[in-house]
Amino acid sequence: MLAQHAKAARSQGATSTVTSHDQSFSTRVGNCDADIGSLVSTGMEPVAGYTQLGDQRIAYHVIGDGPIDLVITAGFWGSFDVEWEHSMIRLFYQRLASFCRVIRFDRRGTGGSDPLPLDALPPWEAFAEEIEAVMDAAESEQAAVMTIADAGPVGLLFASTRPSRTQALLLFNSSARLTQADDYPIGMTVEEYEAMSRAVSEEWGTSSQALVDYFYPSQASNPQFQQWLAKLARSITSPTAVWQYAQASAEADGRSLLATVQVPTLVLHRAESGFTPLEHSRYLAEHIDGARLVEVPGGDNFPYFDHPEQTLSAMEEFLTGNQAQAATNRILASVLFTDIVESTRKAEQVGDKQWKALLDLHDDVSDRVAASHGGRVVRSTGDGVLAMFDGPGRAIRAAGDLRDQLDQLGLQIRAGIHTGEVDQRGDDVGGIAVHLGARVMAEAGPGEILVSATVRDLVAGSGIAFEDRGRYSLKGIEDDWQLLAVSLPT
């Protein structure tokens, strides 16, 4: 069972004060007027805290002390203090906390977390860093991760790059991407998404019937809910920020991550959801090895109000049933290869003694730069390095910093980056992704940082610019690969 892998300190003697879930949740709280006094009066309240990520602080809450940790994020839609005020949401989390230790947080820029400048929102890959920071603060070594709605790609990235910290992945009304592509016709058209985003931002924080109809159709005839939803929206963020977050969500694409998810995965989807149609979850289940798809009735975009018991029962069965622990010797990573341009000629010019000193400086700078961007140098290649990072954005920024700092030493480099599944072999790594990274680097010119199209897709919305270099036949690699040059200031 997944619960058996939780930390023993919490699993020993842990008790729950929530009323037994043998009682029917749906009959008790099928609507906002349901009698829920006996469950709400249990006394189980969230414990609030803050954790630091860079210069910003992230607000989080921990509910319960169950044997398995469950981290939940709903993308930018989060202000947990106000959500907790609603009796049905409070009851949903208390019921969930009867078999989990629930960790819920407000993404940076929303709710109780620090605000962010709208012209410098972090790339969507940084969202996975927030999950890890909150887990560290909550002393959670390993957790099941649940994403709701537009947070789907973030859950995929976290599970792929941090499998040792991910017990399971739960995707509720999620998708690999929201908008259409030539090879992904099930998404919204750009025009549809723009119209939806504009309507949401224009009516954000008001008593809008349209917002209720779109996100919570089960509450469409409840005027009190409209008032509460307006209050929740205002506590989350501003209308302008909602527009910015919506644009960032549209650019996130996690399809390339699906084949690398190795943890047990449950895909839950509302059968009548308007925001993300069922086809999105079918796509997820078909492309994640061993994933289980469960359709639940209703059309709400969030799990709290519309047939919540069926969602909770599916989650409880999945999290407390027999599940094999995933192997973690293969992970998704971004590999960076560098090479000193004309190293032989440079060595002849300066002589052996000075060349050795330059190489030592090169290695020291490489180690320091990689570490400053959250990565590590895996090994030296003689006149270059192989480094590994959790995210492609970090690898790109590290390559730019390394290029600039080594240039001051009179060493010009070329660099290549690819993101894919790598085999961990002790401190070393191998696999096709590593070979691809080396081949990409071999095509780079002096001072150039080349990346594969996979890297470009994964950093969409980060503000990093690329120049298409066309398609290449890479030595020892099947098929042609599109390569792009990173446009960073030199």
What domains are there in the chain, each with its CATH number?
Answer: 2-320 (3.40.50.1820), 330-487 (3.30.70.1230)
Beta strand 56-63 with 47-53 is antiparallel
If you search the block for the tokens 């190795």, which residue do you land on?
262
pLDDT in tens, the chain (490 residues): 444 434 333 333 332 222 222 323 333 233 333 322 223 333 478 999 999 998 899 999 999 988 999 999 987 777 899 999 887 888 899 889 989 999 999 998 889 999 888 777 777 778 889 999 999 999 999 999 999 988 999 999 999 999 999 999 999 999 999 999 989 999 999 899 888 888 888 999 898 888 888 889 888 888 888 888 999 999 998 888 888 888 888 888 899 999 999 999 999 999 888 778 899 999 999 999 999 999 998 899 999 988 888 899 899 999 987 444 444 577 888 999 999 999 888 888 888 888 898 999 999 999 999 999 989 999 998 889 999 998 888 999 999 999 999 998 899 999 999 998 888 877 788 888 899 999 999 999 999 999 998 898 888 767 789 999 999 888 777 778 899 999 875 5
DSSP codes of every residue in 350-371: H-HHHHHHHHHHHHHHHHHHHH
Name residues whose C-beta falls within 8 Å of residue 442's C-beta, 6 or more positions apart in sequence: 339, 416, 474, 475
The secondary element (H helix, E strand) that includes residue 294 is: strand 292-296
| CA 159/CA 120 separation, integer angstroms | 26
Q: What's the predicted TM-score (pTM) here? A: 0.75
Nearest to 382 by CA among 339, 341, 342: 339
Q: Residue 40, SS3?
A: helix
Distances from the Cα of 272 to the Cα of 208, 269, 295, 308, 326, angstroms: 21, 9, 10, 15, 32
What letter does residue 179 receive in the DSSP assignment? B
| CA 420/CA 439 separation, integer angstroms | 14
| CA 431/CA 262 separation, integer angstroms | 16
If you search the block for the tokens 């780079």, which residue do you land on?
444
Q: CB 359: neighbour CB atoms within 10 A?
A: 17
Helices (H), 373-458: 392-407, 432-442, 453-458
Is there a contact between 257 and 248 (Cβ–Cβ < 8 Å)? no
Distances from the Cα of 381 to the Cα of 140, 301, 371, angstroms: 37, 50, 18
